Amino acid sequence: MAFKSFFNKDFLPVMRKYIKQLRGKGKRTFRTVDLIREYIGRYIPDKTSGNHSINANIGRFLKENEKALGIWEKEAKKPIKVGGKNTQTSVWEFI
């Protein structure tokens, strides 16, 4: 059974707002990390399992709501370094 994010439908308009801001910057793609920075103001790698990670759950929420958000996952689990720490992110494209 797939793990569902702990965000609910009320989170959808919030993510739409920040995705719209990224789109307004003329980008064709964005990373989950970029969206979290837009939403929270910074990205902080967490040291918890993927099931409990806020960062991972935002990514799950995006995947679960791709169509409603007007995006699609172009690349999953892309390795990146943030603040000197290794992590992964997805790359999303606007549709």
Convert the pLDDT of each residue in 39-85 to its tens digit: 999 887 777 776 778 888 999 999 999 999 999 999 999 999 988 88
For the entire predicted model, the pTM comes to 0.87
Q: Is residue 3 part of a domain?
A: no
Nearest one of 7, 25, 21 to 62, comparing CA atoms: 7
Q: Is residue 4 part of a domain?
A: no
CA distance linking residue 82 with residue 26, whole number of Å: 23
Q: Is residue 1 part of a domain?
A: no
What per-residue confidence (pLDDT) applies to 1?
40
Q: Is the Cβ–Cβ distance between 73 and 19 less than 8 Å?
A: no
Domain count, the chain: 1
CA distance linking residue 89 with residue 67, whole number of Å: 19
Q: Is residue 45 part of a domain?
A: yes
Domain that holds residue 43: 9-94
Q: Is the Cβ–Cβ distance between 64 and 5 less than 8 Å?
A: yes
Both structure tokens of 41: 């103001």
